[in-house]
Structures are given as structure tokens and as C-alpha cells.
Amino acid sequence: MRVKARAAEVVIGRDPERAKVLRAIYSTLAGRSAVCLLEGTIGSGKSTLAAEARARAAAAGLTVVQVTALAPDELVGDALRHHGPGPYCVVADDLPHADAQTQDALEQLSDYRSLTPEAGPPVLILATTSPSTDPLTRRLATRAAQTGTLITLRGLPPHELAKLLRIYGHTLDEEMLTEVHWYAAGNPGIALRLAQAGLDTSAMHHSEIPLDYLRAELELMTPCLRTFLEVLALDGGDSRADQAAEVALLALAQAPTEPRDPIDAAAMIDALRPMISGNGREMRLTDAAWSQAATALIDPARRLRLHELLAQRTSGLPRARHLSAACPDGNPGLGDELEAAGMDALEAGEYRTAAEYLALSVKVSRGAQQSRRMVSACLTVGIAESPTGIVELFADIDLLEEPALMFFLHAGLAFFTGQLSEARRLLLDLLRVPESERSFDDLTRWRMLILLSTVETAAADEQAARAAIAELRSLNIEPETAIDRALSRVLSMHEAYALWNSGAVEASIDHLDAFLIDAAGTAEHTDALYFRGRVHYYAGHAASALEDLERAEQGRHHRAVPAAAQRGMAEQAMIEFQLGHWTDAILHAEQVIAMARTSQDWRGLASSHAVLAMVAVAHADETAAAEHTDWLSHHVTTSSALPLYNVMIALAWTARMSGDQERALDVIADFRRGRLSTWAEAVGLIGWRALEIEAILDLPNPGRARLAEAERLLETFSQKVALRPALPLPYGHPQALRAKLAALRGDLTSAVADYRAAIWLTAEYPHTKARLHHSLGVIQRECGEHLDADEQLEAARDIFAQLGASPELTAVQSRLLSVAGRYASLTPRERDIAHLISQGRTNSEISEGLFVSKKTVEYHVSNLLPKLGMTSRRELWTAAAVASQRISPPEQPPGSTPGLRSHPPRSPQPRSLQPRSL
């Protein structure tokens, strides 16, 4: 779309497309005729981009001519010469609806001989087209594709669409922008109209704007192309391109009023390129706006017939979808068939497939059968953890005649939409009904208690979860159906979660060990592996944790509930980040976010954004860091305890790394005030204490009160670590904090000893270990232990480089090279004197050794210190240049004591004081 208030009209986004236009212009200027074809649907911006292309062609020196301005009674070559010398840019707008004269002119221009250098000045055909199977359009598209100047305009990405809307006076928040982008499928024209309407999210869902906007172009399509589009819209990508074309042909053949032109699948695919994706054989209609419009405008009887035809050419779940859609008035026999297929899928552990089969069976059922299948379908959708399926299926909950079942399923809907309190309230109201007044049996009560235990587990209320589990165990229900057997496995998982949430870590591991044997071959097996991996890690068994996570990763590709896989991979990414496997952590976190976009499931997003935020800050990627921390600060939508803990850690950690210690302390203070801190302590998540204490110590002026507070917190932290020494401490050990506190108080000897011990204690956590190497190197520089300092700084440098922690890598490299780089500015004599000063020699000793006067030495010293950016001889003893010589100054140089090592006093040695190049 066009940008207002600019001298030159340009297009928002479309940089790759603009580059293709410029290449076509360059090719024509170089003497080679070309075709530049802009294809897109109405509102995609092709006319605006074509206008910019014409202006650029004219500015480049091409003679721009509208094809309609060519004289009809002349050959095209002669007609062009009336408009000036070449090269030419011939413009043709809206090819599918061009008149015969325009078609004839373009036919001449597209002839091979007319587009060769020998035929005269080169010609650039600049044309626009909407989806069409017109032969001339497709021929020009082929020519443009061969030279890489076929421009397909699809929807704008969200950030570009937001920029466009702002230019037209519409500033949308992130949520509304996401909605507008979805309903418009990125189409600028539709998005502008939606923004102008000022609709809220609910109204936008029912808006006719996209349909009204696309209706005119849809109705202008040829019957074959429109039928093919309708088949693709109804098919949802389940059929191959040739199957969809065959269905379209059959549908046309059954409509006596429609022309029966042969359908060329390749031409259809080419024509619909702006709204489809795929490899030519397996393809789907990805433009949501066009899919909805095409579906809405299909005649109901025609739609049923298309579904029947698609069902004849598909199998499995796609066939079931089409059969169900073809029976709007119900079909008992089909309902039985779909229910049986759903139960088979459930037994095989294919929960989402089972849920969809059962949901389809509900649609074709009526009466008591529909109510019974509704309960089964809702339970299966819950087991499959499918938010999209839940919202769609639960829209019909009120069809149930039994109020208790209706409220039970409403509780399930509340849970899956994150309303834990509402879910708990509904379930407790049902379960507290006196036995004499209950309208449901023990099996239904058992199922209700499983859902209640799920709610309490998600809220990390271990006492309530264990109480619910104990009550349902007392019912002694023996699962008889595939659904109840799956629910029983879910219950067993909840028992493990409840044990872990209460701090019974080893008991939780024992329970999972037994469960993994009993659940072999089921979808819950992979979920249990992910969970046991987390429990092992936070219990301090890192090796066992990595083994479990590796096995879970292998099982994820065979049998796993997608939501469980998302959740498990997200927590795996956090563990990998802490262990220094940052590449793997990024990969898994990004996979979770990509899966969530497809599944519309929020599980795993919080932990994934937490990982990516920390990595982005460590890599100095400011744009990504802002994106992920903003999501964590304002858009996190999870009620589960561990992801919320990860969010807190990420916000505090990124604030610390950015130097905002007060912000880090505020985040931790909020965490301390909630129930989450109590839960974290129970399960062994105590690493946050290191972030809090170090943030206090890193305040610009901590003062005595702050240091005393840090010391008090450190004592508590030390006691907790002493009780459970194997717990993971990825953000720092008490010994490292003790070293930092000692350094702040000037006790460098204790600081060095504590830092050395802390490095060994954090061996599993490379980033923290590198930071300790760096800190120890700084202290040793100050102590004058330059050889050891250099070794520590180099160790830190190597780890930071491996992790890609660029700001810290730069800092440590700068410290290593800070003075060495300036040594080049010294004269050879000044270098000799600087080296001898670094050995602790006095001016008199240097004078005697170099056979020069003392005044000469003093003169050189007064020159070399400013060149090195120093003000005293002591600074030279602790400089990086000294470390490069691998020499430490003596303990007792004349006048001061810069070092801590014990060396006997050195007497002048004339031979060793001969001039030496540094």
C-alpha cells in the first residue's frame, strides 16, 4: 500500500519484491527485454507497487507507455516508436480483464522475436494480474518466472502491517494487531477496512468485512478456477492437487449450466499461487480470508456434494471429516462407525485423532447417543490436551440434558482456558452435593476428582491435589473403557506431580520409575520421561536427567500428547540453558513456539520465551531480548508453577545482566510475597537466592545496611545448600557470593580463596563458571598475581566465546588487552624501563643496570606512564602488559607492597638488566 506524506510514493514492506522490479529494469537497460509480472489478490498492493515500478522505470530512462495507448492499426514495434526512443516499459494493468486489443498487443510483445535485441530497442512488459488461468497471463508468468521477475504478493507480516496501519492513522495494540492480521490474512486492503471499522475482538470474529471485500473478485473468477478454490477451501489440505482438481472437474460436470473446459491442475496452482503453499502436489489454501470467503459463498447443496466427492477420494480422518460435513441432519450408522474409529485410535495412543473422531461422531448423532458421545468426546479432547478442539466441541455442551454433566464439562473448559479458580469452584460445588441428591454415579465422580486433581496440580496446591487423589482412590473404580484407562494413567502422573510439589522428590522418582514400566507403549510414557528428567535435574542428578530427556526426545516422534511434548521440551530448553548447551536450548525453545502457533496451545510458551530472553541478552541481541522480555512482562498466560518460576528467573537474570540491579530486586521481591516462593523452596528450586544476593552486592553504592542484608541472606542460602548440597545452583554458589562480599570489604586474600573454591563448585554451569574465572582474574590483577590472573581471564574468555556471550567476551578481552595494545606507542628504551619497573626495580637500580643517569631514567618514566594511561608505578605492576611477560613483581619492592606472593628481595644483577625488547 502507498505511504502518505512522502515525496516519492513507495510501498510498505515488499523489499524483496521491489528488488525484483529493479532487476527487471536493469536487465532492460542492459539491452535485454524482460517481463515483470505482479500477481496478487485484490487489496494485496500490486497496483501500488506497479505505480512505484513505473516511476522507477521512468527515472531510470525507460520510455513508459500504457499498452492501451498503442495504436491498434499498427505493429507493436511501430506503435512504440511514436512514443519516443527505447528502451520501453509497456504497462498493462489487470491482465485477466484486458480487452481484445490489449490482448493482441501483448501477444505481439510476448512473441519471442519481439523480445530479442535484434528486433529493436528492448521492452520491459510490466503487468499486474489477479488469479487467472488465462493462457496469455500464464505465458507471461512463465516468462517472468524464468528470469526471476515473477512477483507474488502475499499478505504482509505483522510488523509491516502495523507500520502501514499507523501511516493511515490506526495504532493497534499487539492483541488487536494479531486479530486484524489473522482475519485479513495479512492483506493490506482488508486490514485497513477492519481497522477503520474500529471493531473489538468479538465483533471482528463475526465481521463480514473480509467476505464483502473479496466477494467481487471471487464472483469474477472463471467457473473452473472458482470451483477449484472452493474444493481447496473445503478440503483443508488433506488431498493432493490432482485429487482436488478431479473433484472440481466432477463438480463442474454435474452442473449443466457451467462450461466444461478441461482443468489443468498446474495452471490452477499457478493461478492461485498468492494464496496457497505446497510443493505442487501436496498443497493447501493458506490464505485464511480467501478460505473463509470461498466457503461462505458456496451454495449449501453444492457444498454437501463437494464433501461427498472429497470423501470418495480420501481415507482415514480426512474422509471422516467430509462424511460428517455431508450429513448435516445426522446419520446414526456413520456415528457408530466414527465412534469405533475413535476408540481404536484411543487404544493406539493417538489421542488427538481419537478426539476428532469422537467429536465428529457427536455431530452426526442425535438424542441420547449424542449426549453419551458428547461426554466421551469431551473427556478424550481433555486427555489429548487440545485447546482448539475443546473450545469448538464445548460450544455444544449445553445440548446435554443432565445438568451435572454439563457443569462438569464447563469446569473442564474453564481449566483449559486457564481459569483455575472457576474450574475448582464448579467441581467442588458438584462434589459437595450430598449423596442422596446426586444425579451422577461413582464413575462420573471419579472422573470429576481426576479433573480436580489436575486443577490443583497445575496450581501447585499439593495438599489439595493429594486430598483429591486419596478420595478418588477410595472409590475403587476399575477402568473398563479405553477412555477411563487413559484417565487412570493421567491420575498416576498426577500422583507423581503431587509428591514432587510437596517436596517428596525421591518418592516422586520411585513412583515415576514404576509408572514408566506400567505405561510402556502409551502416550503418557513420553510425558513421564520429560517429567522424570526435570525431577532428576532439580534433585541434583544431572546425568540421569539428560538421559531421560534424550529418551523423551526420541519418543516424542512416536507417541506423545503434543501439549505434553511442548511442556517437556520447554523445560528441557531451560535445563540446557543452565548447563551451557545454548544452541540446543534455542532450538528446543523455538520449536515449542512454532508448535504453539500451530496448535494454539499455551503450554510451554512461558519457559520458552524465558530461555530465549536470557540467551538474547547474553548474545547482545537487543531486538530479540526486548521482544521476549516484553512477552514475559505483559503477555505471559500460564498458571503452572514451574513456568511461572522460570519467568521470574528470566526477568531477574536479564535485569542483572543489563545492569539494572534494582529491577532484578523488585522482581524477586514480588516473587517472595507469593505462594510460588514456598513451592519453589519445597521442590528444591533455591537458585534464585544467588540472583538476589548478587544483585544487592552489585548495586552502585550498597552501603553498610545493604551489605549486612546480603550477609544475612547469604547465611540463609548457605544453610539451605548445606541441607541439600546436590541441588542445582546454576546462578551461583554461596562460596562465590562469599568471595564477592570479601572483595567488597577489601579482604582480597579470602576473596581469591573463595573464588577458587566456587569455580570447582559450579563446574556444571559454564556461564556462571566463566563469570567466576573473570572475577577471580580481576582480583588477582589487583593483588599483582599477573600470571594466575591471565590464566583465569583466558579461561573465562574461552567459555564466553564458546557460549557466544558477546558482551562478557568483549569485557574480558578488553581486560586482557587493555595495556598491551598501548605498548606499541613506547620507544625501545621506554619498553626496557617499563619492563624493569614491572619487576619492582627502583630508578637507581635501573640506572645502574642500563648504564644511564638517574635523571634519564626519571625522564623516560615521566614519558612512558602517560602513554600507557597510568599515573603511578604501582599501576604498571598490575597491568595486562606485565602479564604478557609472565613476571610478577616482588613482594617488597622499594616503597610499597603491591603483591601478595612471598619472594626474597632481589639484588641488582647487571647481566639480567641488559636492554631487552618487550
Residues near 305 by Cβ (< 8 Å), separated by ≥ 6?
Answer: 251, 254
pLDDT at 816 over 80: no
Q: For position 879, what pLDDT does the model report?
A: 59
Query: Which tens digits make up the pLDDT trace of 593-630?
Result: 988 887 777 778 999 999 999 999 999 998 899 999 98
pLDDT at 588 over 90: yes
- Assign 819 a pLDDT band (cuts: 50, 70, 90): low
Mean pLDDT, residues 150-163 taken together: 90
Mean pLDDT, residues 78-101 taken together: 88
Q: For position 389, what pLDDT does the model report?
A: 66
- Assign 257 a pLDDT band (cuts: 50, 70, 90): low
Query: Which tens digits make up the pLDDT trace of 23-47?
Result: 999 999 988 888 999 999 999 989 9
Contact 559, 525 (CB under 8 A): yes
pLDDT at 686 over 90: yes
- Distance, in Å, from the CA atom of 743 to the CA atom of 737, rounded to the nearest integer, reads 10
Arithmetic mean of pLDDT over the chain: 84
Q: For position 917, what pLDDT does the model report?
A: 30
- Assign 893 a pLDDT band (cuts: 50, 70, 90): very low
Q: For position 133, what pLDDT does the model report?
A: 87
Contact 654, 435 (CB under 8 A): no
pLDDT at 896 over 50: no
Mean pLDDT, residues 75-88 taken together: 84
Q: For position 903, what pLDDT does the model report?
A: 34
- Distance, in Å, from the CA atom of 807 to the CA atom of 593, rounded to the nearest integer, reads 27
434: preceding bond cis by omega (within 30 degrees): no
Q: How many CB atoms lie within 10 A of CB 827?
A: 12
Q: For position 675, what pLDDT does the model report?
A: 86
Mean pLDDT, residues 440-463 taken together: 88
For the chain, what percent of residues have pLDDT higher than 90? 38
Q: For position 394, what pLDDT does the model report?
A: 63
Q: Please list the residues that pair with 506 across neighbouring strands.
A: none
Q: For position 289, what pLDDT does the model report?
A: 87
Q: Please list the residues that pair with 128 across neighbouring strands.
A: 38
Q: For position 536, what pLDDT does the model report?
A: 94
SS (H, E, C) 740-806: HHHHHCCCHHHHHHHHHHHHHHCCCCHHHHHHHHHHHHHHHHHHCCHHHHHHHHHHHHHHHHHHCCH
Where helices occur in 658-724 by DSSP H, the ranges are 661-673, 675-683, 688-697, 703-723
Query: Which tens digits make up the pLDDT trace of 111-125?
Result: 744 544 456 788 999
Q: What region does 438 belong to: left with phi over 0, alpha with psi -120 to 50, or beta?
A: beta
pLDDT at 539 over 80: yes
Mean pLDDT, residues 536-565 taken together: 85
Q: For position 824, what pLDDT does the model report?
A: 60
Q: Is pLDDT larger for residue 711 or for residue 462?
A: 711
Low-confidence winner among 13-27, 289-303, 386-400 (lowest mean pLDDT): 386-400
For the chain, what percent of residues have pLDDT higher than 70? 89
Q: Is pLDDT larger for residue 899 or for residue 16?
A: 16
Low-confidence winner among 81-90, 761-770, 776-785, 819-828 (lowest mean pLDDT): 819-828
Bridge pairing between strands 34-40 and 123-129: parallel
- Distance, in Å, from the CA atom of 141 to the CA atom of 132, rounded to the nearest integer, reads 11
DSSP secondary structure, 413-433, as one string: HHHHTT-HHHHHHHHHHHHTS
Q: For position 262, what pLDDT does the model report?
A: 61
Q: For position 657, what pLDDT does the model report?
A: 93
Q: For position 238, what pLDDT does the model report?
A: 67
pLDDT at 422 over 50: yes
Q: For position 263, what pLDDT does the model report?
A: 61
Q: For position 892, what pLDDT does the model report?
A: 34
pLDDT at 62 over 90: yes
Mean pLDDT, residues 717-733 taken together: 93
Q: For position 689, what pLDDT does the model report?
A: 96
Q: For position 910, what pLDDT does the model report?
A: 34
Nearest one of 855, 509, 218 to 846, comparing CA atoms: 855
Contact 457, 497 (CB under 8 A): yes
Query: Which tens digits make up the pLDDT trace of 344-397?
Result: 988 888 888 888 899 899 889 988 888 888 888 888 888 887 766 666 666 677
- Distance, in Å, from the CA atom of 619 to the CA atom of 175, rounded to the nearest integer, reads 28
Low-confidence winner among 261-270, 292-301, 878-887 (lowest mean pLDDT): 878-887
Q: What is the pTM of this model?
A: 0.69
